[in-house]
Amino acid sequence: MKINENARVVLEKRYLKKDDLGVLTETVEGMFDRVSSAIAEPDRLYNPETDIESVKKEFYDIMTNLEFLPNSPTLMNAGRPLGQLSACFVLPVEDSMEAIFEAIKQAALIHKSGGGTGFSFSRLRAKGSTVNSTGGVASGPISFMKVFNTATEAVKQGGTRRGANMGILQIDHPDILEFIDCKNNGKEITNFNISVAITEKFMQAVEKNEEYELLDPKTGECLKKLSAREVFDKIVMSAWLNGEPGIIFIDRLNRDNIVPSQGRIESTNPCGEQPLLPYESCNLGSINLVEMLKKKSDGTYEIDYKKLGRTIDTAVHFLDNVIDANRYPIEMIDKTTKDTRKIGLGVMGWADMLLYLKIPYSSDQAVALADKVMGFITERGREKSAELAKERGTFPLFSVSVLKNKTKVRNATVTTIAPTGTLSIIAGVSSGIEPIFAYVYIRNVMDGTELIEVNPILKEELTNRGLYNDELMRKISEEGTLAHIKEIPDDIKRIFLSAHDVQPEWHIKTQAAFQNHTDNAVSKTVNFSKDATVNDVREVYMLAYKLGCKGVTIYRDGSRDSQVLNIGKVNNEGSSQETVQEIAEKCAPKGEEAFGKIVPRPRPEITNGMTEKVRIGCGNLYITVNYDQKGICEVFTNTGRHGGCPSQSEATSRLVSLTLRSGIDADTIIEQLKGIRCPSTIRQAGMKVTSCPDAIARTIQKVVHYQNGNGGTGVIPVAVTEEQEAPSVSSEIRYCPECGTKVEHEGGCVVCRQCGYSKCG
C-alpha cells in the first residue's frame, strides 16, 4: 500500500486489532481485508449466487488504493465482535423524566459502541414551568443537558472511544437566551457541540428588525416576544467569543426530509452534516478526489470523470451493504435506519485537488468546479441507488416519500459532506472540503532532532523550481502561510493558500456550492483570524442564509485562549534588582559542577504547569508537570480514590524533578521511563500507558511538545484536580492533548493531523 508513515502510525494506534496486552495482531492490509470481507457478505441476502470474492476484491481495491474510505467505526469494527459501523445517531428527548433518562441510557449505549449522538432539547418545558405531576417547578433544558454531559464523561472515563454530542434548541424556545450562553464559561456542557435551530420566519424578522415569538413547547402558546435582531446579535457575539453556538436552518432540513410522515427532523449528528429523524443512524464514506485526477501529456492534471463514476458506484454499493452488515446498539435504531436506508457519500482532498489543477481556493473557478463535481457525484450516486433498487427493492418507506423525480431508489439520501479528520490522514490528503490548514509541520522526535513534514504538492512545486530547502520550510512553518515570504514567487502564493489566507466569504461560497448538490448537509468550518470583528461573523451568518446553506460553524483563531491558564508570567521590566531566586540560580548553575558536585538549581517560586489524569491498572494517576523559562523543573503525582502505588510514584517523580533541575535533558528522562511495564496495567484492555513511570514519561513528553509548539513559552491547559471537571477539547484545546501538535478546527470538531487524535472520536 502507498500510505505514508504518519498514516501507518495512526492506523496502528487507533484502528488495528490488538491483543489484551496491547500488541498489534493485524496489519494495515489485514484491516482492509477484514472490512471488505464483512461488507461484501450482505450481497448474499439479495443473491445467494453472488461471487462474494469478486465483491470483496472490489471493496478491498478502492480502500487500499485510497480511492474511498468509510467512516471510522466501519474500519474499526467491521468483522469484529462489536460490529457497530455507524458514526451518526439522533435520539429523541421527550418532556418527561422517564423519557429523558431513557435517552441518557440509549446515548450511553451508542457512545460505548463508538457512535456520536445528536439531541434536540426543544420539547422540554421551559425553566420555571409548573410540573403538574409533582407540583414542582421545571429546571429547563440546560439543566438536563448537564446531566447528559456527565453521563458522556462517565462513558469516556470507562476507556472506550470518545463520545460526542450535538445539542440543539429551537430559536423560539423560552430558554433560548440561556442556551446561547450555556458554554461561555468553558467549564460546563463540555461534551457537546451546540447549535441554535433557526427558522426562516425568524431570519425574516431579523432582516426586517421585527420581534418574534417565544412559544410554550407543550401548547404552542406565545409566552413572550423578543427582538429578532437582538437575539441574532447575541448568537453572533457568542460565536465570536468562543465559536459556539453554531446555527442550523431547521426549515431547510425539513424541506428536504424525504419521509415527513415519519416525523420532523429536529437534530443532526455532532458535526452537523447529517440531519436525522429520531432513532435514525447513518453511515458515511468519502471519495479521495486526489485519486480521481489523471496527468495529461503536457504534465498538467484533469479530473478523470470515468474513474470518479466507477468509484461512486462501488462506494454506494459498499455503503448500502454497511446498513445490513451493521449491528445496531438499539433495536429501534435498527428498524428506523433500515426504513430509510440513508447513506452519506462525500469527498476529501478537495483543497489538494485544486492545487494540482492550479486553481485558487478563493476563486469563482473553484466554486464553479465544486458545483460541477458535487453535481456529478450526487447524480451518479442516485443512479447507482436506483440500480440497486431494481435488484434489492426500494427503501421500505419509499411509497410515502417526496422525492422530486419519483425515481425508485434504494436509499432515501445518498450524499453528505462530512469532516474527514482521521480518514484524510490515512489517505494523506487535505480534510473534507476545507482549505489546507498548514503546508509545513515541524515534528519533534525522541532524539531531540526535528522532522520537517511538507505538503507533497508544495514540495514538488518548489523542488521543480529549485527553491526547496529546510530553512525556507522552517520559515513557512513559523509564518503559518506562504503569503509574506519573499523567496516564494507570487504565482505560487496565489495558488497555495492556507486556511487563514482564505477570506470568510469564500468559505461560505464553497460550502454553498457543495450544498447545492448534497442530499443531507455540509460540514465546514469558517476560519477567522484572531482580529476578526463581531460584524465579520454576522456577515458570514447572513451570507450562509442567503446562499442556501443548511448550517454554519465558525472558529476565530485564539478565541478560546481565555479557557487556558498561563501561570507565572511576571513582568519585571525596569527592575534592576536581583531577586533571591536569581542569585541562588547563579550560585548553582543548571547542569554545571559547583564545588566538585552537581547541584540542582532551586525550585522556582512561580511556575507554569499542566496536570493530566491518566488511567492505570489500579485506578487514576494525576501527574503534574511544572516548568519555568529555563525548562521543565518539577514533576509530582497523586493517586485517585481507587488507590495505586503512591510511594513508588512519589519516589519516581521526586527523582525525576531532581534530575531535571540538575540539567539532564527531558528527552533523556523520557527515554529511560517510557515503555516500563507493570502487570496491573498491561493485563487490562484499553490502557494507553504500560505503567506509572510510562505515564509520567508521556506527560512530560506532551509538555515538551506544548513548549515547542509555542516557541518555548507555550500556554498549557488548566490544571485539573480529582474534584474538578477537566475542560473539554471543544472548550479550550489548541494543541493536541496526546502529542502537542497544533490542532485544526473542522466542522465543529477538532483533529490533530500528526497523531490522528479527534475530539469527536
> For residue range 395-411, what is the model confidence (pLDDT) as tens digits?
999 976 556 667 899 99
5-85+283-427 folds as Anaerobic Ribonucleotide-triphosphate Reductase Large Chain (3.20.70)
What's residue 571's pLDDT? 29
What's residue 400's pLDDT? 60
Q: Could you identify the residue written with the cell 434536540?
A: 120
Mean of the pLDDT values across residues 351-373? 98
Using DSSP, state whether 310 is helix, strand or coil.
Answer: helix
State percent of the chain over pLDDT 90. 64
Using DSSP, state whether 239 is helix, strand or coil.
Answer: helix
Q: How many CA atoms lie within 13 A of 13 on its CB side?
A: 19
Q: How confident is the model at residue 570 (pLDDT cuts 50, 70, 90)?
A: very low
H or E element in which residue 542 lies: helix 534-546
How does pLDDT run across 501-515, given as a tens digit for each residue?
999 999 999 999 999
Using DSSP, state whether 163 is helix, strand or coil.
Answer: coil
H or E element in which residue 634 lies: strand 631-639
Neighbours of 227 (CB within 10 A): 15
Taking the mean position of all CA atoms in its chain, how far away is CA 646?
Answer: 36
| Structure-block grid coordinates of residue 315 | 462506494
Q: How confident is the model at residue 308 (pLDDT cuts 50, 70, 90)?
A: very high
* Whether pLDDT at 576 is above 90: no
How does pLDDT run across 438-478, given as a tens digit for each residue?
999 876 654 556 678 899 999 999 999 999 999 999 999 98
How does pLDDT run across 709-749, given as a tens digit for each residue?
544 434 333 333 333 333 333 345 667 766 667 788 887 77
Nearest to 754 by CA among 735, 738, 745, 741: 741
> Residue 114: what residue type?
G
* Whether pLDDT at 561 is above 60: no
Q: Can you tell me the distance from the alpha carbon of 743 to that of 466, in angstroms, rounded to the nearest whole number?
A: 31
Taking the mean position of all CA atoms in its chain, how far away is CA 203?
Answer: 29
Q: Can you tell me the distance from the alpha carbon of 631 to that of 667, in angstroms, rounded to the nearest whole number?
A: 12
Q: How confident is the model at residue 119 (pLDDT cuts 50, 70, 90)?
A: very high
- Report phi then psi at 43, rounded to 5: -55, -30
Q: Could you identify the residue written with the cell 477538532?
A: 750
Taking the mean position of all CA atoms in its chain, how far away is CA 268?
Answer: 15
What's residue 449's pLDDT? 61
Q: Can you tell me the distance from the alpha carbon of 63 to that of 34, in angstroms, rounded to the nearest whole number?
A: 12
Q: Across the chain, what does the average pLDDT equal?
A: 86
8 Å CB contact between 293 and 432: no
Taking the mean position of all CA atoms in its chain, how far away is CA 474?
Answer: 27
Mean of the pLDDT values across residues 194-217? 98
What's residue 112's pLDDT? 87
H-type helices in 406-489, by residue range? 421-427, 456-464, 470-479
* DSSP 8-state code for residue 25: -
b/e per residue, 452-462, with b = 16+ CB within 10 A? ebbbebbbebb
What's residue 161's pLDDT? 52
Q: Would you mind telling me the total number of residues written for the chain in this entry?
A: 761
What's residue 264's pLDDT? 96
Mean of the pLDDT values across residues 132-159? 82
Q: How many CA atoms lie within 13 A of 106 on its CB side?
A: 22
What's residue 467's pLDDT? 96
| Structure-block grid coordinates of residue 240 | 465570536
Neighbours of 21 (CB within 10 A): 12
Task: Judge if 5-85+283-427 and 88-261 fold alike in CATH terms.
Answer: yes
**Higher pLDDT pick, 370 / 698:** 370
How does pLDDT run across 170-190, given as a tens digit for each residue?
999 999 999 999 998 777 898
Q: Can you tell me the distance from the alpha carbon of 345 to that of 69, in angstroms, rounded to the nearest whole number?
A: 10
State percent of the chain over pLDDT 70. 86
**Higher pLDDT pick, 293 / 403:** 293
Neighbours of 593 (CB within 10 A): 9
* Whether pLDDT at 690 is above 80: yes
**Higher pLDDT pick, 684 / 498:** 498
Mean of the pLDDT values across residues 280-289? 96
What's residue 715's pLDDT? 38
Report the phi/psi class of residue 146: left, alpha or beta, with left for phi > 0 and alpha for psi in -120 to 50: alpha
Q: How confident is the model at residue 566 (pLDDT cuts 50, 70, 90)?
A: very low
b/e per residue, 206-216, with b = 16+ CB within 10 A? beeeeebbbbb
The catalytic residue among 273, 291, 461, 634 is: 273
How does pLDDT run across 624-655, given as a tens digit for each residue?
999 887 889 989 888 765 556 777 888 888 89
Q: How confident is the model at residue 347 (pLDDT cuts 50, 70, 90)?
A: very high
Tell me how far CA of residue 148 lies from CA of 103, 175, 269, 311, in angstroms: 9, 18, 15, 40
The catalytic residue among 242, 269, 520, 608 is: 269
What's residue 403's pLDDT? 62
3-state secondary structure 262-286: HCCCCEECCCCCCEECCCCEEEEEE
Q: How confident is the model at residue 136 (pLDDT cuts 50, 70, 90)?
A: confident
H or E element in which residue 58 lies: helix 52-64
Q: Are strands 293-295 and 88-91 parallel, antiparallel or unpaired?
A: unpaired
8 Å CB contact between 193 and 167: yes
678 carries an active-site annotation? no
Least confident of 53-57, 150-154, 339-343, 354-358: 150-154
Q: How confident is the model at residue 753 (pLDDT cuts 50, 70, 90)?
A: confident
88-261 folds as Anaerobic Ribonucleotide-triphosphate Reductase Large Chain (3.20.70)
Residues 6+ apart with CB under 8 A from 723: none
| Burial tier of 75 (Cβ tally within 10 Å: 0-12, 13-18, 19+) | buried
- Report phi then psi at 347, rounded to 5: -135, 160
273 carries an active-site annotation? yes
Residues 6+ apart with CB under 8 A from 192: 145, 148, 149, 165, 166, 167, 183, 730
Domains in the chain: boundaries:
5-85+283-427, 88-261, 438-497, 580-716
b/e per residue, 286-318, with b = 16+ CB within 10 A? bbbbbbbbeeeeeeeeebeeeebbbbbbbbbbb
The catalytic residue among 88, 271, 282, 760 is: 271
What's residue 722's pLDDT? 32
* Whether pLDDT at 242 is above 80: yes
What's residue 282's pLDDT? 92
Q: How confident is the model at residue 316 (pLDDT cuts 50, 70, 90)?
A: very high
692 carries an active-site annotation? no
How does pLDDT run across 478-501, given as a tens digit for each residue?
898 999 999 999 999 999 999 989
Q: How confident is the model at residue 595 (pLDDT cuts 50, 70, 90)?
A: very low
Q: Could you identify the residue written with the cell 485506578?
A: 619
Using DSSP, state whether 321 is helix, strand or coil.
Answer: helix
What's residue 501's pLDDT? 94
Mean of the pLDDT values across residues 60-82? 97
8 Å CB contact between 313 and 379: no
Q: Are strands 130-131 and 343-348 parallel, antiparallel or unpaired?
A: unpaired
User: Degrees (nearest 5) of the Cα angle 436, 438, 444?
Assistant: 140
Residues 6+ apart with CB under 8 A from 124: 93, 95, 100, 138, 140, 141, 144, 217
* Whether pLDDT at 562 is above 60: no
Q: Can you tell me the distance from the alpha carbon of 385 to that of 401, in angstroms, rounded to the nearest whole number?
A: 15
The CATH number of 580-716, from 3.40.1000, 1.10.3470, 3.30.390, 2.60.40, is: 3.30.390
What's residue 386's pLDDT? 97
| Burial tier of 599 (Cβ tally within 10 Å: 0-12, 13-18, 19+) | middle
